Amino acid sequence: MVDNKEHNVRSRILIVATVFFIAGLLVGGVSLALSLNPDENQNQNQTQKNVHININKTINYSETYKELYNQVSDSVVSINIRESGLGSRISGQGSGFIYDSNRHILTNQHVIDGAENVEVVFSNGATQRANIVGSDKYSDIAVLRVDNIPEEENYSPSPLKLGNSSNIESGEFVMAIGNPFGLEGSITHGIVSATGRVLPTEEGFSIPNVIQTDAPLNPGNSGGPLLDLSGQIIGVNRAKSGDNVGFAIPANKARKVADSIIEKGEYEHAWIGISMVPVSYNAANYMDLNDTVSEGVMIVRVIDGGPAEKAGLEPGKQIVVNGEPTWVNGDIILGMDNREIRNSDQLITYLDTKLPGDRIKLKIYRNENIKTVNVTLQDRPDNLLR
């Protein structure tokens, strides 16, 4: 019920706003102007600050989520890892989705890591043994293949479309479908909390451009799709870091890796062959950098036989400065291909756009001089910790 008394206008706005957020319902054509009144002692003619919320589209989110779920849920699968031997009990679980018309299933590498018996369970209950086409531990993407996709009356699953993850923005609504704790076909929802995250992995390398979401992700969700409200996959759910903090591999990366695995059985990552640290306050003082270098990353290790060693890049050494272990005197990377490099995340993200064999130009600081060094990237070796 709407109260029409003038003195209750502010109360009505607060009530409407509360209902808006709780119910997730946008009412079309509404414009809310929240006036921030100046102090009574200030000049009443002072320009007030108005915050306008313009809502141009009517969306019932409950109906939207239900419609999306009905459209895509048949294409989402549960993945069981079974132990070999008598009983073949389930030792691990995850999620996945139909990737293409050639019966490929996309999931996370860590879901099937070390598995011998992989089982795919479709939403109609049909179960099939899956073959592992290939996987990439550095991006945490794996591709499976089944003999056939089951079809029956009112059940005809189709491949899900991977969208352009470069276009997503913080605040967009998203939906995750998966198999948390073995509960098949579970749906959760939330927003894109941030984009462009760099996610460390157990392999010692980081995954760039990761999507952060507050949509609840739990054990078993790994490998399932993160979708926008158009029904396109924007990410492959990977990990939960804490309450309301989950991460997904961006769709653009997942597509590149999956297509390469299907075509060649592997994905090749461009590799420069260094370990690096931020330039610390102690290092800056010790090396007297304050007037010349304020940001960048210092090389602390150069891998034997790697691109950096071949290009003549020099690592630093660790000493004690002001009672603290400190890396000093290594080459400091300031830029890459005319792009400023302020931290390791920027370097990792830019390298991810390159291929083995590409040549990059590094701008480095060494011995009080700025130099340019050309480096030819190589394929990242397997079983390399760093």
Question: Which domain CATH number covers 220?
Answer: 2.40.10.120
Over residues 97-110, the mean pLDDT reads 97
pLDDT of residue 85: 64
pLDDT, tens digit (0-9, with 9 covering 90-100), for 128-157: 999 999 999 999 999 999 999 998 888 889
In a domain, 167, yes or no: yes
pLDDT, tens digit (0-9, with 9 covering 90-100), for 334-348: 999 999 999 999 999
Residues 341 and 235 reside in one and the same domain: no
pTM of the predicted model, to two decimals?
0.81
pLDDT of residue 86: 53
Catalytic residue among 74, 75, 78, 110: 110
SS3 61: helix
pLDDT tops 70 at residue 13: no
pLDDT, tens digit (0-9, with 9 covering 90-100), for 346-359: 999 999 999 999 99
- Tell me if residue 228 is catalytic: no
pLDDT tops 70 at residue 48: no
Residue type, 89: R
pLDDT, mean over the chain: 85
Residues 256 and 288 reside in one and the same domain: no
SS3 73: helix
Residues 239 and 279 reside in one and the same domain: no
Catalytic residue among 75, 78, 95, 140: 140
In a domain, 51, yes or no: yes
Residue type, 66: K
Residues 84 and 31 reside in one and the same domain: no
Q: Where residue 63 falls among pLDDT bands split at 50, 70, 90?
A: confident
Catalytic residue among 222, 269, 275, 344: 222
Residues 108 and 215 reside in one and the same domain: yes
Residues 324 and 285 reside in one and the same domain: yes
In a domain, 386, yes or no: no
Residues 108 and 19 reside in one and the same domain: no
Residues with Cβ within 8 Å of 101's Cβ and at least 6 positions away in sequence, in order, are: 159
In a domain, 250, yes or no: yes
pLDDT of residue 12: 44
Range of the domain at 169: 60-267
Residues 144 and 202 reside in one and the same domain: yes
- Tell me if residue 291 is catalytic: no
pLDDT tops 70 at residue 49: no
Query: Of 203, 233, 267, which one is at a domain's C-terminal end?
Result: 267
In a domain, 385, yes or no: no
Query: Of 243, 267, 291, which one is at a domain's C-terminal end?
Result: 267
Question: Which domain CATH number covers 287?
Answer: 2.30.42.10
Residues 298 and 354 reside in one and the same domain: yes
In a domain, 1, yes or no: no
Query: Of 220, 250, 267, which one is at a domain's C-terminal end?
Result: 267
Residues 123 and 238 reside in one and the same domain: yes
Q: Where residue 57 falls among pLDDT bands split at 50, 70, 90?
A: low
How big is the CA angle at 306 (ends 300 and 308), to the nearest 5 degrees? 50
In a domain, 310, yes or no: yes
- Tell me if residue 206 is catalytic: no
12-21, 201-210, 325-334, 374-383: segment of lowest average pLDDT = 12-21
Q: Where residue 59 falls among pLDDT bands split at 50, 70, 90?
A: low
Residues 84 and 131 reside in one and the same domain: yes
Over residues 89-101, the mean pLDDT reads 93
pLDDT, tens digit (0-9, with 9 covering 90-100), for 279-323: 999 999 999 997 788 899 999 999 999 999 999 999 999 999 999
Residues 31 and 93 reside in one and the same domain: no
pLDDT tops 50 at residue 126: yes
pLDDT, tens digit (0-9, with 9 covering 90-100), for 229-270: 999 999 999 977 777 899 999 999 999 999 999 999 999 999
In a domain, 218, yes or no: yes
The domain total for the chain is 3
pLDDT, tens digit (0-9, with 9 covering 90-100), for 17-36: 443 333 343 333 333 333 33
Our CA dihedral for 267, 269, 275, 279, rounded to 10 degrees, sits at: -130
Q: Are 99 and 260 in contact (CB under 8 A)?
A: no
Q: How many CA atoms lie within 13 A of 312 on its CB side?
A: 7
pLDDT of residue 31: 33
